[in-house]
Amino acid sequence: MQTTDKPHILLIDGMALLFRSFFATSVFGQYFRNEHGVPTNGVQGFARHVLTAKQMMQPTHMAVCWDMGMHTFRNDLFDGYKSNRPAPPEEMQPQFDMAKDISKMLGWKNFGEIGMEADDLIGSMACKWQDEANITIVSGDKDLLQLLTPTTKIAFTKKGYSIYDEYTYKRFLDEYEIEPSVFADVKAFMGDSSDGYPGVKGIGPKTALQLIQTYGSVEGVIDSLHELKPGQQKKIEENLEMLLLSKKLATIHCEMELPIELNDLLIPSYTNELLEQLEQAGFGMTSRHARSLYTI
């Protein structure tokens, strides 16, 4: 259970907020170009999202986690992993580095590792400090539900910059009737079209959840195949290799080595000098938003 006497870590899925912010305005042709003509709409929205979350959630510590390129260890496991996703629009290309730059300017610690996903960094940090701190994850990725614990909750982006769909450990138990840690087993059966892996063909979300509720895990279902209906047995037997592979793809890797201490994530105070630097760097909207939220 989360308590107020512990540090509160805010873990930000940087890429999720950057993409969300980019498409929220680019659909109207609004790119907020700087004096050099470079689009900044995604960056400005990302920073506004995080500043608002920081003001609402009052963390003591914060980390921003990033994907570092398209290729990860999951692509080595399965060529089709995320292969159906289009390349980012041209206007977004320069904003990846810009987002990390503005994050650094604001004193937020950026983390990313080639070959891993932001989810894996978030998961590793959540596991590392779950006994020392209360943790809030901000993202739009439902795969992160598997990270819920009594001290870790997830705020899923919903509308604008300040409305979230918040999941706690208790809410998940009430809705799914399984432990969050086996949510990846549900995904293994149902697959994920956005990530490009099929799971078991013919088994949808409802049946996948029922199987895990009854047998506890992918391995538990396999051990109890003789108890299933003939049709389900056949589907699983015909897709057994993909089922086991899908579980590996769906499972967040929570054992990354993190050579950092909790105090490295302390959030600094903002100053007029910093906000003036943001103005000079072409992030006037971000600077004005920061001023509106915090007394400098």
Task: Check residue 281 and give its pLDDT.
Answer: 76
8-175+253-293: CATH architecture: 3-Layer(aba) Sandwich (3.40)
Checking if the pLDDT of 295 tops 60, the result is no
Q: How far apart are CA 215 and CA 172, in angstroms?
A: 18
Q: Is 220 helix (H, G, I), strand (E, B) or coil?
A: helix
Checking if the pLDDT of 157 tops 60, the result is yes
Task: Check residue 272 and give its pLDDT.
Answer: 79
Cβ neighbours for 260, distance < 8 A, ≥ 6 positions apart = 109
Checking if the pLDDT of 178 tops 60, the result is yes
Q: What is the mean pLDDT of the chain?
A: 94
Checking if the pLDDT of 4 tops 70, the result is no
The domain locations on the chain are 8-175+253-293, 178-250
Burial of 38 (0-12, 13-18, 19+ CB in 10 A): middle
Amino acid identity, residue 41?
N
Checking if the pLDDT of 155 tops 70, the result is yes
The residue ranking higher by pLDDT, 4 or 243, is: 243
Q: Are 199 and 189 in contact (CB under 8 A)?
A: yes
Lowest-confidence pick of 78-87, 125-134, 223-232, 278-287 = 278-287
Checking if the pLDDT of 3 tops 70, the result is no
Overall average pLDDT of the 92-118 stretch: 95
Pair of tokens at residue 265: 């994530």
Overall average pLDDT of the 41-46 stretch: 95
Q: How far apart are CA 260 and CA 175, in angstroms?
A: 35
Task: Check residue 9 and give its pLDDT.
Answer: 98
Percent of all residues in the chain with a pLDDT value above 90, rounded to a whole number:
84
Q: How far apart are CA 51 and CA 294, in angstroms?
A: 9
Longest dimension (CA), the chain: 69
Task: Check residue 276 and give its pLDDT.
Answer: 82
Task: Check residue 186 and give its pLDDT.
Answer: 98
pTM value is 0.94
Task: Check residue 2 and give its pLDDT.
Answer: 63
Percent of all residues in the chain with a pLDDT value above 70, rounded to a whole number:
98
Task: Check residue 101 and give its pLDDT.
Answer: 94
User: 271-292 burial string, b = 16+ CB within 10 Å, else e?
Assistant: eeebbeebeebbbbbbbebbee
**Which helix H or strand E contains 159, and what residues bound it?**
strand 152-159
178-250: CATH architecture: Orthogonal Bundle (1.10)
Task: Check residue 38 and give its pLDDT.
Answer: 94
Alpha helices in 67-168 (DSSP H): 73-77, 95-105, 118-129
Q: Is 59 helix (H, G, I), strand (E, B) or coil?
A: coil
Asked if domains 8-175+253-293 and 178-250 share a fold, the reply is no
Task: List, in sequence order, every residue forming a beta bridge with 115; answer none if it has no partner.
Answer: 72
pLDDT in tens, 54-74: 999 999 999 999 999 889 999
Quickly state the pLDDT bin for 108 (edges 50, 70, 90). very high
User: 195-212 burial string, b = 16+ CB within 10 Å, else e?
Assistant: bbbebbeebeeebbbebb
pLDDT in tens, 113-129: 999 999 999 999 999 99
The residue ranking higher by pLDDT, 3 or 38, is: 38
Checking if the pLDDT of 296 tops 60, the result is no
Overall average pLDDT of the 194-198 stretch: 94
